[in-house]
Chains A and B, each alone.
Chain A
Amino acid sequence: MRLPLRLGQIAPEGVTVRRSGFRWMCADGQLCQAGQIIAFCNIGLRQAHGPGRPLDHFADERRDFQVAIVSRVTGRLRVKSGGSHGGQLDRLEYFLAWNPDFVLAEIEPEGPLPPGLHPGEGPSSGPWHRTLFGAGRRFTEHAEVRVGMLTGWHDRARAWWGDGTRVDGTLLSMGSCEQSALVIGDSPAFLDLMGQVPGAAQVISIPDDLLVPCARVCLEQMQRGPAELAAIEADLFASLPRGHGSRPAADWYFAATLLAGLQRSPITEGTDVLVRGGVQRVAQPDAIMMSLVAEPSRVLRHRRLGYTLSMHSYRLGDCSEPMRQWLRTSFEPVDRDTSDILRDWRELIGTTRQRAPTLFLALNLSSSSASEDFLNYAQFDQPMARTVGSVRSKELNLMLHDLAREPGLAVVDTDAIVAGLGAALHQPDGLHMNGTMQQEVQREILYQLRANGVPGFS
């Protein structure tokens, strides 16, 4: 028995789909597992009539717009000819037409078929794959890294299941590196997470290059208007060091990345998704995941314009001295206690939920440290949370626990997960997780989404 993997219709009437050749993630004759990506390609959407202009919907993602074929069946793959051409023809999206009837490959099933599906003809005869879309918005269009699925330097990367007529729910994840790794996972196109989602869901990841998405920064992004943005731009252009650094190009990248972060608002900007019913607009995510890791004890505030800049201080190590000097003179450091962070979270949740009933998921902090063994707190000045990392973590975790009594927030208790697994092996530096812990936290994220009734994930 051979089950055909027919590409199927992915775009509405009036839209032409072009594609690259497919790149295989599973070779001919190999056993592929249900839930595994078999192949992916780049696609481009154009208007079917007139000169065939690209669709406006995905204009800022058009160079990294991809689709993956995910098997629903475990079985032996039999590749058909014509799906792949190798070289750049498998990377550039305009050489081939997307033919819905094209059979990319066949699968000889080994093991039971998915419930409700039977070989043969009729509505229960497939499809034998799920269609996973991926789209990356590049920080800059010349950051060309088409080596895989959703590879490249993206200020926003996202994936969604496109099998149905709509996407029911969207999770927006904004955080520093450990959270991005958690969401993106170890497989292409967020598949570690998406593969556990049976519904029609979208996951979006916003990295911390260069702005770290703490609550205050996200709130200001939502509230910043054109006049404030213009003032920031004018100040940046007027203040930037010119020609004094040994690496001016690196400084300009730094400044441009900073400005790009200040200009966008991931919570309110919305996304378009391609589904079998057409292009659907998602105005605001149904759930937003953030982390206390992204809440630094110190942020920078612009002395004249008042906006907040949160970034990892190690980024400064990559700046020239003139750029560091500009930051020192233009910004003042602002230390933040637990009460300040609580106020920011409460305000962000309240402001966001005035627009829609969004659920916030908060990853807490690992509050134990393998390198600590002190028994006496006398060596520390009060308040100790300003000095001792583990005390600060515990205070912030308690704050989150209290805040979760209010509507709109659920806690993903990474502190408990790492305590159960063992920090030395699974999160040795208290921050970066191994695969086992990532999987455990992913499971908890999905549990919280389901338990709180977030559509698409339930």
Chain B
Amino acid sequence: MLLTVTLPMVNPFMASGLVQACYLAPGAQVVPGTRLLDFKVDLSAALSHDCPPISFHRLALRERAWLRRLLVAPGQDVAAGAVLALLSTDPEESLEGTEHRPARCSIAGILPQPDWWAGGAG
């Protein structure tokens, strides 16, 4: 079974997310709780006000699988709903298979320390 991870809509106004950190390389086994990546949602352009709506999030897996392809890298701006990664329940499974479903993921709001000097939220 192939599993896809897409960039979740954490806010109804969100158009994209900026990938800030990737924690895994292809071939890695994931278990519930394994972190995949951090991303930043910046709504300043669409909802500009003095207290800009910028938030930071961590995407983690909630099931056992193998990461087969990571389609994004830090610094990349990704459209909401775009595919971020491909996983499979069998490490040797062909990626050409048609049977797939969304991977079970979880989202956490994280503190934006690494971005402080760049003028992010906080």
**By the criterion CB–CB under 8 Å, are A314 and B117 in contact?**
no
**By the criterion CB–CB under 8 Å, are B62 and A432 in contact?**
no
C-alpha gap A317/B121 in the complex (Å)? 10
Q: Residues 90-122 of chain B: 1 if any A CB is under 8 Å from the residue's CB, otherwise 0?
A: 000000000000000011111111011111111
**By the criterion CB–CB under 8 Å, are B60 and A314 in contact?**
no
Chain B residue, CB-CB nearest to A381? B35
Q: How far is the CB of B108 from chain A (nearest CB, A)?
A: 5
A316-B118, A371-B55, A379-B60 as given contacts; A386 in contact with B111, CB under 8 Å: yes
B112: chain A residues within 8 A (beta carbon): 313
B4-55 interface (Cβ within 8 A of A): 10-11, 32-35, 50-55
Which of B50, B52, B107 makes the CB contact (< 8 A) with A372?
B107
Chain A residue, CB-CB nearest to B14? A371
Chain A residue, CB-CB nearest to B36? A379
C-alpha gap A176/B52 in the complex (Å)? 13
B68: chain A residues within 8 A (beta carbon): none
**By the criterion CB–CB under 8 Å, are B116 and A313 in contact?**
yes
C-alpha gap A177/B51 in the complex (Å)? 8
C-alpha gap A451/B19 in the complex (Å)? 49
A369: chain B residues within 8 A (beta carbon): 109
Which of A177, A377, A431 makes the CB contact (< 8 A) with B33?
A377
Q: How far is the CB of B32 from chain A (nearest CB, A)?
A: 5
C-alpha gap A373/B11 in the complex (Å)? 14
**By the criterion CB–CB under 8 Å, are B109 and A371 in contact?**
yes
Which of A314, A373, A379 makes the CB contact (< 8 A) with B122?
A314
C-alpha gap A457/B122 in the complex (Å)? 34
At the interface, yes or no: A315 with Cβ under 8 Å from chain B?
yes
**By the criterion CB–CB under 8 Å, are B116 and A333 in contact?**
yes
A296: chain B residues within 8 A (beta carbon): 122
B117: chain A residues within 8 A (beta carbon): 313, 316, 324, 328, 333
A298: chain B residues within 8 A (beta carbon): 113, 116, 122
A378: chain B residues within 8 A (beta carbon): 32-34
**By the criterion CB–CB under 8 Å, are A373 and B106 in contact?**
yes
Interface size class of B (residues with CB under 8 A): 20 to 34
A379-B33, A379-B58, A432-B51 as given contacts; A374 in contact with B119, CB under 8 Å: no
**By the criterion CB–CB under 8 Å, are A376 and B62 in contact?**
yes
Chain B residue, CB-CB nearest to A312? B122
Which of A374, A377, A380 makes the CB contact (< 8 A) with B107?
A374
A316: chain B residues within 8 A (beta carbon): 117-119
A310-336 interface (Cβ within 8 A of B): 312-319, 324, 328, 333, 335
A351: chain B residues within 8 A (beta carbon): none
B35: chain A residues within 8 A (beta carbon): 379
Q: Residues 424-447 of chain A: 1 if any B CB is under 8 Å from the residue's CB, otherwise 0?
A: 000001011000000000000000
At the interface, yes or no: A297 with Cβ under 8 Å from chain B?
yes
**By the criterion CB–CB under 8 Å, are B53 and A388 in contact?**
no
C-alpha gap A127/B106 in the complex (Å)? 62
**By the criterion CB–CB under 8 Å, are B11 and A371 in contact?**
yes
**By the criterion CB–CB under 8 Å, are B110 and A376 in contact?**
no
With A317-B118, A372-B106 known, 20 other A-B pairs at CB within 8 A are A297-B122, A298-B116, A313-B115, A313-B117, A316-B117, A318-B119, A324-B117, A324-B119, A335-B113, A371-B10, A372-B107, A372-B108, A374-B108, A378-B34, A379-B34, A379-B35, A379-B58, A386-B111, A386-B113, A429-B11
Please provide the 10 A-B residue pairs with the shortest distance between their CB atoms, ordered closest to farther: A317-B119, A376-B33, A378-B33, A316-B119, A374-B106, A371-B10, A379-B35, A389-B109, A313-B122, A379-B60
